[in-house]
Structure 1
Amino acid sequence: MDDSRHRPQEDPVTHDVTNQVPPLTGHDVSADPALLEGLAREGADWATGELRQLGLLAGSAKAQEWGRLANEHPPVLRTHDRYGNRIDEVEFHPAWHELMTVAVESGAHAAPWTSARPGAHVARAAKFFTWSQVEAGHGCPISMTYAAVAALRHSPSLRAEWEPLLASRTYDFGLRPPRDKRGVLAGMAMTEKQGGSDVRANSTRAEPLGDGTFALTGHKWFNSAPMCDVFLVLAQAPGGLSCFLLPRVLPDGTRNAMRLMRLKDKLGNRSNASAEVEYEGAVAYLVGEEGRGVRTIIEMVNMTRLDCVIGSAAGMRYGLTQALHHTRHRRAFGRTLSEQPLMRSVLADLALESEAATTLMTRLAGATDRAIGGDAAEGLFRRAALAAGKYWVCKRAPVHAAEALECLGGNGYVEESQMPRLFRESPLNGIWEGSGNVAALDLIRVMAREPEAVEAFFAEVALAQDRRVADAAERVLKRLASAGEADARRVAEEMTLVLQASLLVRYAPAAVADAFCASRLSGDWGRAFGTLPSGLDLEAILDRAAPA
């Protein structure tokens, strides 16, 4: 009897893995020529060793796993303990704490404020750029902590108490009295349901308690990083809208009356907690002058806007790196994808956008350092350049992420590639700290109120001494002469492009600068990445951009 049909059959060999891309691990994330050259140029070459060490950790399989786990296990709100006591705690996966520990120990938070070294804010920007490529969500409390110090400098007593803790390189998570902690983190709460960006419509009340403190009552629609130790909050005091410092735990160890109502279910930034909160007579301390809350907290906002540019530039670099790695290993039609002429044009275009963003980011960080040190001209330049750059770089991040994702084909659309995470994250910086319209209108206000800032901006552009840049700058100046609110986006875009072109002409290799000017300034460029003019040195651009 033939029983062969009853015998187990060997499976045909169908699962040999071929033509798949190896993991990109074991590389130095900081080994980006535009970043390292900017670090040295802006006065922070002394930090190169620390940055390279951080870059190697960022490129390790261990760090990449932390990023994956922190996003796949988002924070959980615990409003009460098992006995019914209100605790308002946010629980995180251990991977989140690993990411935070490295960020704080590296000084990517508020450490520059207590450093006497020149270029301290540039070094911090480079570290934030590098470590953000591991996982972007944890950058929120890091950025808030960095920026809070700028606002606290309006109140010397509060600064003396809190700055050493905010700048500490010890990550000490958990709600305890500040005096019992080795380091603290800061968040921010400005937005309310009815106001959004119009913070003057805020309704949260601040009533004097007679001992120098205030009792806050009201709500906040977005509270950034609610697990932090202390927050900068806007509320209506008797003297008008004012800025307050609100600790989570009071000096006697009791919890302040800040209630976490729910965590936001967000498109991206999944690892980080964002909350709706209610204040029920929460104790807070006045920062700056009563009635001048916007003027006070804008110091914090300007720092976090810089981080929006840094974060978007970091996302571009990450997407470019993944696209270059994938296309150099994946084969189709007899050769690697990176050898295909059309793909080379796409990759080179992505590289140009990334380098322009990174070079602008380091220049803005350098201006920040010098402005804090008392350089008035740098402060004026930064005022105009930051508003324009925040608008344009953050606007470019989502389209850059989408194109980088597409370079991986169907693999890029799969969660395991981490490219969907990048794509979901990419719109955030364009919204955070003022959406595109707010940033563009801020630039228009600068033009009207501080024309000397615009003069400083174009004086910087003129340093390129390049006819292409000069002609483009002249066109932009003509537009400015009649620009109104409806033109704000166009103005911000064109001003950023001409500044980026000037910086690249001065500091980047000729192949990069020529390609950027030929595409972004001349109009000989399509509406999608990969439509560069012909005759450019794409090989030099791609070799420079390749991950080390």
Structure 2
Amino acid sequence: MTERNAIAAGFLTHEVTNQPPPLEYDAWTTDTVLREVVAREGGGWAEADLAKYGPVVGGEMQQLAFLANENKPKFRPFDRYGNRRDEVEFHPAYHRLMELGMAHGVSGFAWRNEDKPGAHVARMALFYLHNQADNGTSCPLTMTYASVPALRHQPEVAMEWLPRVSSASYDSRFIPAAQKSGATIGMGMTEKQGGSDVRTNTTKAHRLGEGRGPGQPYALVGHKWFFSAPMSDAFLVLAHAEGGLSCFLMPRFTPDGALNAIRVQRLKDKLGDWSNASSEVELHGAYAVMVGAEGRGVPTILEMVALTRQDCMIGSSGQMRQALVQAIHHTRHRVAFGKRLIDQPLMRNVLADLALELEAHVALTGRVSRAVDATPRDEKEAAFCRIATAVGKYWVCKRTPSFVNEAQECLGGAGYVEETNLPRLYRQAPLNSIWEGSGNIQCLDVLRAASREPASREALFAELLAAQGGHPAYDEATARLGKELANTDSLEVRSRTIVEGLALALQASLLIRAGNTAVSDAFCESRLGGAHGQTFGTLPAHAPMQMLIERAFSEGAK
């Protein structure tokens, strides 16, 4: 050893040991729960498509998501010559994430395969996988997917736009959609003065020419307080026409190729969702075409919102799976007090409890997706979908922040450091419970469906009755729910309690009927039977902890 090397060796303080290796995994093959749900709900025929996306999500897209979130979108109101452009500039990683998402079918798969039962279930799995990498790109992908039912209200609009919307091609160029092979759709509903109460909107629609009503051109004047994905090729928006609040498709460029009069005021400075741009805009006579009946804007755009609410469930479930994967991976490779963390009894309880929670959410999300899939053909499924979507959106999204925080704690201090993606997931976690109707809105929707739509209530209880006798705690819980709903006194005040009970009962019913008694018994005993504390990691000692962990993220993962 030279004198210089000897001196240098004297400054070596430690070797890096007892650290987990970099995580790269196949998000599909390592997920027993997802694969079972997809098969059970009718999407198993798409396994080859899902298998292709799994390693991309757990590989290339993980690093892309870091880059896209570290480099937030930038607002470019003018070009170098001073011409108004209202462009938003994204990092190349964002565009690559969008490209991968559209190519693998996150936005268009269900519509390209809607002749096959289970197409929306398969697409649910694609979106669930995507959200394990990035959530900001999920916003435009969701709205593009969800826009189709609203666009179909206007046949000539659908004929022009649906081929672009269902395309597997992503084109980021800032040019008219007619020159593109694929397009994305955004949405603008809320205004400053109203928020969720969209009937207080003040944006006005003025006729362009003599025509009036569906399919006719209008000029929109007003503002939107939350205008999502402002670089989309077109937007579904609400505005007041002569006959009342109506729905319009507002393209980024007018039919003659000119930039539409959509003036971006600023981008929102958000808690999370950094890779995505959300904006405030003013409409200075923006060109738009009425979609659906005049004065029926809210029911028209709610067909889009029904699907975006489904996607809130899927997105939150995907975030939770990513958080759990990070926690399991870390604890499988980290040793403390002479054992791997995952072999420490209390840590195993925490991980198993998280895994059980996630399995129930994926089961409910898959069932709602099957109802979405069957809605055009089956009135009972449509009725179930209306109430179950609100129940699931409320509960799955509400559970995400505490779930992600518990996963962070499994990593200790490292879980609070940006180099892991858990801080990003934690910032993202509250979004879906706020977006597309907050918790109170969902609970009121459940009450409305239960009281005003007998078919929805019947479909819901038929689902619960199908698992009767599966566990004593389940039978007791469903009996209590019937009494709670029958008691109309102070129903609105008690609605969160009722909806929580409905969510847990639906999840239990699905797990019971899935046939894995060890899983369903653990869920019923802990979530319905009182054998659980107020935090994760409080399963009874006899719960099948190792099995639950393995189902969530198989040991064969890298």
Q: Name the residue aligned to 1:417.
A: 420
Matches within 5 A, 1:280-359: 280-359=284-363
Distance 1:14 1:478 in 2: 67
- Whether 2:126 is the aligned partner of 1:122: answer no
Distance 1:112 1:9 in 2: 61
Kept in 2: contact 1:110–1:149 (CA 8 A):
no
Kept in 1: contact 2:260–2:287 (CA 8 A):
yes
Q: Which moved more, 1:361-370 or 1:168-177?
A: 168-177
Kept in 2: contact 1:511–1:541 (CA 8 A):
no
Q: Name the residue aligned to 1:52.
A: 51
Pick from 262, 266, 269: which aligns with 1:258?
A: 262
Distance 2:168 2:364 in 1: 28
Matches within 5 A, 1:418-457: 418-457=421-460
Q: Name the residue aligned to 1:384.
A: 387
Which digits, 9 at most, give the CA deviation of each residue in 1:452-505, with x for residues without a partner? 211111111221231432221111111111251111111111000000001011
- Whether 2:402 is the aligned partner of 1:403: answer no
Shift of residue 539 of structure 1?
2.0
Distance 1:206 1:264 in 2: 26
Shift of residue 536 of structure 1?
1.6
Shift of residue 50 of structure 1?
1.1
- Whether 2:248 is the aligned partner of 1:244: answer yes
Shift of residue 412 of structure 1?
0.4
What one-letter code is carried by the residue in structure 2 that aligns with 1:63?
A: M
Shift of residue 320 of structure 1?
1.0
Distance 2:51 2:40 in 1: 17
Aligned residue pair count: 541
- Does the residue aligned with 1:486 lie in a helix, a strand or coil? coil
Q: Name the residue aligned to 1:277.
A: 281
What one-letter code is carried by the residue in structure 2 that aligns with 1:457?
A: L
- Does the residue aligned with 2:494 lie in a helix, a strand or coil? helix
Which digits, 9 at most, give the CA deviation of each residue in 1:233-264, with x for residues without a partner? 01111111111100001121100100111111
Which digits, 9 at most, give the CA deviation of each residue in 1:274-311, with x for residues without a partner? 00000000011111111111111000000000000000
Which digits, 9 at most, give the CA deviation of each residue in 1:95-143, with x for residues without a partner? 0111101110111103322322221111111101001111111000000
Shift of residue 184 of structure 1?
0.5
Shift of residue 8 of structure 1?
5.9
Q: Name the residue aligned to 2:518.
A: 511
What one-letter code is carried by the residue in structure 2 that aligns with 1:497?
A: L
Kept in 1: contact 2:471–2:524 (CA 8 A):
no
Distance 1:74 1:416 in 2: 17
TM-score (norm 1): 0.96
Kept in 2: contact 1:309–1:394 (CA 8 A):
yes
Q: Name the residue aligned to 1:193.
A: 192
- Does the residue aligned with 1:66 lie in a helix, a strand or coil? helix
Distance 1:523 1:479 in 2: 19
Kept in 2: contact 1:178–1:251 (CA 8 A):
no
Kept in 2: contact 1:110–1:147 (CA 8 A):
no
Distance 2:547 2:54 in 1: 24
Distance 2:75 2:29 in 1: 35
Kept in 1: contact 2:204–2:241 (CA 8 A):
yes
Distance 1:522 1:512 in 2: 14
Runs of at least 5 residues in structure 1 that lack an aligned partner in the other structure? none
Matches within 5 A, 1:161-180: 161-180=160-179
Distance 2:160 2:13 in 1: 66
Pair 1:30–1:76, CA change in 2 (3 A): farther
Q: Which moved more, 1:284-293 or 1:526-535?
A: 526-535
Q: Which moved more, 1:504-513 or 1:292-301?
A: 504-513
Kept in 2: contact 1:30–1:130 (CA 8 A):
no
What one-letter code is carried by the residue in structure 1 that aligns with 2:75?
A: L
Shift of residue 30 of structure 1?
5.1
Which digits, 9 at most, give the CA deviation of each residue in 1:368-424, with x for residues without a partner? 11113x111111111111111100000001110110111110000000011000100
- Whether 2:88 is the aligned partner of 1:69: answer no
- Whether 2:485 is the aligned partner of 1:480: answer yes
Pick from 467, 470, 478: which aligns with 2:475?
A: 470
Distance 1:159 1:59 in 2: 35
Q: Which moved more, 1:110-119 or 1:336-345?
A: 110-119
- Does the residue aligned with 2:493 lie in a helix, a strand or coil? helix
Shift of residue 530 of structure 1?
0.7
Q: Which moved more, 1:116-125 or 1:229-238?
A: 116-125
Q: Which moved more, 1:128-137 or 1:527-536?
A: 527-536
- Does the residue aligned with 1:416 lie in a helix, a strand or coil? coil
What one-letter code is carried by the residue in structure 2 that aligns with 1:417?
A: T
Distance 1:315 1:508 in 2: 26
Shift of residue 53 of structure 1?
1.2
Distance 1:328 1:26 in 2: 14
Q: Name the residue aligned to 1:222.
A: 226
Distance 2:184 2:289 in 1: 17
Q: Name the residue aligned to 1:97.
A: 95
State percent identity of aligned pairs. 53
Q: Which moved more, 1:484-493 or 1:277-286?
A: 484-493
Which digits, 9 at most, give the CA deviation of each residue in 1:436-462, with x for residues without a partner? 111111111111211221111111122
Distance 1:457 1:409 in 2: 41
Shift of residue 161 of structure 1?
1.2
What one-letter code is carried by the residue in structure 2 that aligns with 1:425?
A: Q
- Does the residue aligned with 1:129 lie in a helix, a strand or coil? helix
Distance 1:194 1:503 in 2: 41
Kept in 2: contact 1:230–1:246 (CA 8 A):
yes
What one-letter code is carried by the residue in structure 2 that aligns with 1:369?
A: D
Distance 1:31 1:264 in 2: 37
Pick from 106, 109, 112: which aligns with 1:111?
A: 109
Compute the RMSD of aligned alpha carbons.
1.4
- Does the residue aligned with 1:485 lie in a helix, a strand or coil? coil
Shift of residue 334 of structure 1?
0.7
Distance 1:355 1:126 in 2: 14
- Whether 2:507 is the aligned partner of 1:500: answer yes
Distance 1:347 1:34 in 2: 15
Q: Name the residue aligned to 1:183.
A: 182
- Does the residue aligned with 2:265 lie in a helix, a strand or coil? strand
Q: Which moved more, 1:77-86 or 1:175-184?
A: 175-184
Distance 2:515 2:244 in 1: 49
Shift of residue 159 of structure 1?
1.1
